[in-house]
Each structure stands twice: as structure tokens, then as C-alpha cells.
Amino acid sequence: MKYEISQRFFFDAAHTLRRQIDTDSSARIHGHTYQSEVALRGTPDPATGMVVDLGALRAELKSLRERLDHRFLDEVDGIGAPTLENLCAYIVEALAGSGLPLCRVSVWRDGIGDRCDLWLDQD
């Protein structure tokens, strides 16, 4: 059986965005509280009963959060245009070397109801 476990974290950050709609307000520096969830999929280890020790995931997310929290996202290397889609891809890339069996990364903003889910192919 495959299990999915996840951990959430949040970060507050500012950005600008060039778009076709809401151009004035998006182009000005503004901020959001972003929520993110990182999901892992796998079979629990018979010895531990865990897919992954959530402490290991929390340590990775703590380091990642420090790179995003209270930052101007336009200046964070590797994000590109600070869209929800690019934030999901950035998180995946940041966790790529961790060895964690990522299956999904989500980023959303409760304040305005936007959400993006990035599903990763797994065997």
C-alpha cells in the first residue's frame, strides 16, 4: 500500500507581477501570506512504520521557509516571475536533493482564494 503524508508551512512575502488584468495593483509592490503543503508518497518502512520521519521533512521546510519568509520574491534567485506556479516549481527544485519522495507541492493564498497544485509523476 502507498501512503501520502504531508507537512504545511507558511511564509509572508512581497512581490510585483506584470499581468494583463489588474495591472496597476499587481505591478506595485504588495504582499501576501502564502501557505504551502509538501506531500510525500511511499510505503512505510517495516522497522519504523513511517514513509519518512516527519522531523526530516520539517527540517528541510524550515530551511526553505527561511529563504522565502519576509523576502521580496522578485529578487529570490530561481523563482522567476513570482507566480503560484513558479513558487511550486521553486519548492520542488529546492527539495530535489533531499531524497524525499515528493508527490505534490501546493501553494495558496487564503486571503484571496488562489491555489496551485503541482503533481509529480511517481512510479
Tens-digit pLDDT profile for residues 75-121:
999 999 999 999 999 999 999 999 999 999 999 999 999 999 999 98
Tell me what pLDDT residue 122 has: 61
Tens-digit pLDDT profile for residues 35-74:
999 999 999 999 999 999 999 999 999 999 999 999 999 9
Residue 76 DSSP label: S
Confidence of residue 23 (pLDDT cuts 50, 70, 90): confident
Domain ranges of the chain: 3-119
Pick 15 or 24 by higher pLDDT.
15
32 near 13, Cβ under 8 Å? Answer: yes
Tell me what pLDDT residue 123 has: 53
Q: Is the pLDDT score of 24 beyond 90?
A: no
60 near 95, Cβ under 8 Å? Answer: yes
DSSP string, 15-61: E----SSSHHHHHS-EEEEEEEEEEEEEPPPTTT--SS-HHHHHHHH
**Residue 79: strand, helix, or coil:** coil
Tell me what pLDDT residue 80 has: 96
Q: Is the overall model pTM greater than 0.85, yes or no?
A: yes
Among residues 85, 67, 66, the alpha carbon closest in space to that of 77 is found at 67
62 near 54, Cβ under 8 Å? Answer: no
Among residues 40, 38, 36, 50, the alpha carbon closest in space to that of 4 is found at 40
**Homologous superfamily of the 3-119 domain (CATH):** 6-pyruvoyl tetrahydropterin synthase/QueD (3.30.479.10)
